[in-house]
């Protein structure tokens, strides 16, 4: 089962639960003639409308073609520059990190 179908299934369940809550709140609001409960029913109906909107978005997203990103080519891959041997011999550089060794290079170090 595709993921979008599972999402729709959950959203339909939430929509049904929200509609039950809206119905119950409306029934209590009518019986009690309370504006506060009517307001709560209105709030719950907005939650139900959000579920409907989510169902529409999931349906549209499932129909949209998927875009694939191109794979990185050798020219587009970037790697950190490694210090050259000339820069390691420079007195200004205190540490040289090479591909296999780390050495201390400075004014008094021997290369």
- The pLDDT tens digits for 73-111 are 555 555 555 555 555 555 555 555 555 555 555 566 555
CA 86 – CA 28 distance, rounded (Å): 84
Query: Cα torsion at 37, 39, 40, 41 (round to 10°)?
Result: 90
Q: What is the pTM of this model?
A: 0.55
What was the pLDDT predicted at 64? 78
pLDDT tens-digit map of 36-75? 999 999 999 999 999 999 999 999 988 877 777 666 555 5
CA 58 – CA 60 distance, rounded (Å): 5
What was the pLDDT predicted at 4? 81
How many C-alpha atoms does 17 have within 13 Å on its Cβ side?
Answer: 9
Q: Which SS3 state, helix, strand or coil, does residue 72 take?
A: coil
């Amino acid at each position: 089962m595709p993921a979008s179908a599972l999402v729709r299934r959950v959203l339909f369940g939430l929509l049904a639960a929200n509609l039950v809550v809206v119905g119950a709140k409306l029934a209590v609001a009518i019986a009690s003639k309370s504006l506060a409960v009517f307001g709560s029913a209105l709030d719950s109906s907005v939650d139900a409308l959000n579920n409907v909107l989510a169902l529409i978005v999931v349906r549209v997203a499932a129909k949209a073609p998927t875009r694939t990103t191109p794979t990185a080519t050798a020219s587009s891959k970037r790697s950190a520059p490694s210090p050259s041997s000339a820069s390691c011999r420079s007195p200004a550089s205190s540490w040289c990190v090479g591909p296999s060794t780390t050495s201390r290079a400075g004014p008094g170090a021997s290369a």
